[in-house]
Amino acid sequence: MTGTGTQAAEKPRRRQARGERRIEQLLEAAAQVFQEVGYPAASTNGIARAAGVSPGTLYQFFPNKEALAVELGRRLMAELEQTHGRVLSGADTTRPLAEILDTVLDPLIAFNLGHPAFFVLIHGPEAPGEIVSDHEELHAVLQQQITDLVARRAPDLPIPELDRVSVMAFAIFRAGLALVMHSDGAQREGYIVELKSALHRYLAPVLGS
Amino acid sequence: MTGTGTQAAEKPRRRQARGERRIEQLLEAAAQVFQEVGYPAASTNGIARAAGVSPGTLYQFFPNKEALAVELGRRLMAELEQTHGRVLSGADTTRPLAEILDTVLDPLIAFNLGHPAFFVLIHGPEAPGEIVSDHEELHAVLQQQITDLVARRAPDLPIPELDRVSVMAFAIFRAGLALVMHSDGAQREGYIVELKSALHRYLAPVLGS
DNA sequence: GACAAATACGAGCGGTCGCTCACATTCTAT
DNA sequence: ATAGAATGTGAGCGACCGCTCGTATTTGTC
């Protein structure tokens, strides 16, 4: 796949090492600003300033603000899979439910705590009229992985119920994750336990203990 | 507190019937715009236009955009309590949990479906740096009522656990409500059932069936 | 060293935002 | 009838937005 010019032939844009470094700086700055003020309130000029470059330089590498968020999401998603393995799709669905939840949720929570921008990106853009493909894809990928996980655990579940349960489970996860993210110390530990309890109790009747 | 008679003695602003009507128009228009584009993206000029008045007229009655949201929240909250009675604080906690959930959730869901702006307002403003008192009060009032409800049902619950469970329950409710609001027809019915199931299963071990 | 491509700058364009203000109109109390 | 308060207008201010572009600098290649 990484061979000479197989897929990336559409953009023969040659990039210097300096450019690659700038891209990293910009994404890092974007992550910082996103988590500080949220995606909608984050300004491209502010991101450029945080990266120590001019606005023009930002647009040398990213066509617009959305592209910044999309690429950041891509990288975070890749890093999630790299550092924690295939968390969702690799889970052993024959284990007890509580164990599955631990092995799935702990890495996800840890990753979100370590990369708060990820949490910002999987929370909808709030404005309904936004360009749909914004963070929607990140959301959809995670949702699909959860649905697959549930389907593997309960293969005989009718499709509509499978979808409903999976969507609800993801919603509960995001809601609980928000509580975890906005607390700290002992409280945070408490919410983590609470989130696991909520999901366990919700899923046990459907997936078995 | 504010002494006898009307409580707004600090603002002896005399209001004509026309002014009262304008206020209604403006709040109605604000509710419309909020639910259409969300609170952050709603523009005061747009709200004024939707109400059929000039921007200056809007600021004749509301000092700023936030005041519009706050007053709208106040009125919606009042209407909720008026039309559905004291839904939360009046629930009979000696009934079976499933019944309590029905009597509490059905009015709340119906009200949100009938007043989508309410749903927008109880969803955080997304931007962390926002003026804190924005929708925060509405949120806090509902949270407190839920906590009281849980406390009445389980008086022996230690305070920290009471708080944690109540906050988590409210979070699950909001997450499920979002699914209900963004679906329709049979799917919506399904999510309503799912939300009730999730809350019942989550709360049953703590509150009893 | 020469030359083109890649990178970098930053003033500023066109736009929207929340909000203001000088002024006109309508209502109400006398 | 008339004064003064309440209501109404809408152009536009100042700030900020995402983004552009003419221009300057750095870099890789020969």
Q: What is the pLDDT of residue B61?
A: 98
Q: At A83, is the pLDDT very low, low, confident or very high (cuts 50, 70, 90)? A: confident
CATH number for the domain harbouring residue B34: 1.10.10.60
Residue A39 lies in a domain: yes
Residues A177 and A77 in one domain: yes
Q: Domain end: A33, A62, A91, which one? A: A62
- CA B64 to mean position of chain CA atoms: 20
Q: Which strand D nucleotides have any atom less than 7 A from protein CB atoms?
A: 5-12, 16-22, 26-28
Residues A167 and A74 in one domain: yes
- Print the domain residue range for A48: 15-62
Give the residue-averaged pLDDT of B186-196: 98
Give the residue-averaged pLDDT of A108-120: 96
Residues B58 and B73 in one domain: no
User: Is A171 near chain B, with CB under 8 Å?
Assistant: yes
The nt closest to A67 (CA vs C1′) is D18
Q: What is the pLDDT of residue A21?
A: 98
Query: Does pLDDT of A103 surpass 90?
Result: yes
Give the residue-averaged pLDDT of A35-39: 92
Would you call A175 and B179 a contact, using CB atoms and an 8 Å cutoff?
no
Q: At B95, is the pLDDT very low, low, confident or very high (cuts 50, 70, 90)? A: very high
Give the residue-averaged pLDDT of B12-27: 92
Residues B170 and B107 in one domain: yes
Residue B1 lies in a domain: no
Residues B98 and B201 in one domain: yes
Q: What is the pLDDT of residue B32?
A: 97
With pLDDT > 90 as the criterion, what percentage of chain A qualifies? 77
Q: What is the pLDDT of residue B17?
A: 93
Residue type, position A112, single letter: N
Give the residue-averaged pLDDT of A69-91: 89
Q: What is the pLDDT of residue B96?
A: 98
Residues B24 and B57 in one domain: yes
Would you call A37 and B129 a contact, using CB atoms and an 8 Å cutoff?
yes
Residue A5 lies in a domain: no
Q: At A172, is the pLDDT very low, low, confident or very high (cuts 50, 70, 90)? A: very high
Residues A108 and A125 in one domain: yes
Q: Domain end: A46, A62, A78, which one? A: A62
Would you call B198 and A198 a contact, using CB atoms and an 8 Å cutoff?
yes
Q: How many domains are contained in chain A?
A: 2
What is the signed CA dihedral for B24, B27, B32, B36, rounded to 10 degrees? 170
Whether the CB-CB separation of B93 and B149 falls below 8 Å is answered with yes
Residues B74 and B54 in one domain: no
Mean pLDDT of chain A: 90
CA of B138 to C1' of D6 (A): 31
B159 CB less than 7 Å from any atom of strand C? no
Would you call A198 and B195 a contact, using CB atoms and an 8 Å cutoff?
no
Cβ neighbours of residue A199 under 8 Å, at least 6 residues apart?
A101, A105, A169, A172, A173, A176
CATH number for the domain harbouring residue B172: 1.10.357.10
Q: What is the pLDDT of residue B135?
A: 72
Residues B34 and B97 in one domain: no
Give the residue-averaged pLDDT of A87-101: 92
Residues A84 and A28 in one domain: no
- The region, left, alpha or beta by phi > 0 then psi within -120 to 50, assigned to residue B95 is beta
* pLDDT tens per residue across span B120-154: 999 866 656 555 556 788 899 999 999 999 999 99
The count of other CB atoms within 10 Å of the CB of residue A118 is: 24
The nt closest to A54 (CA vs C1′) is C9
List Cβ<8 Å contacts ≥24 apart for A87-95: A88/A142, A88/A145, A88/A146, A88/A148, A88/A149, A89/A145, A89/A148, A89/A149, A91/A149, A93/A149, A93/A152, A93/A153
Best to test chain B binding among A36, A201, A206 (most B CBs inside 10 Å): A201
Query: Does pLDDT of A44 surpass 50?
Result: yes
CA of B58 to C1' of D9 (A): 11
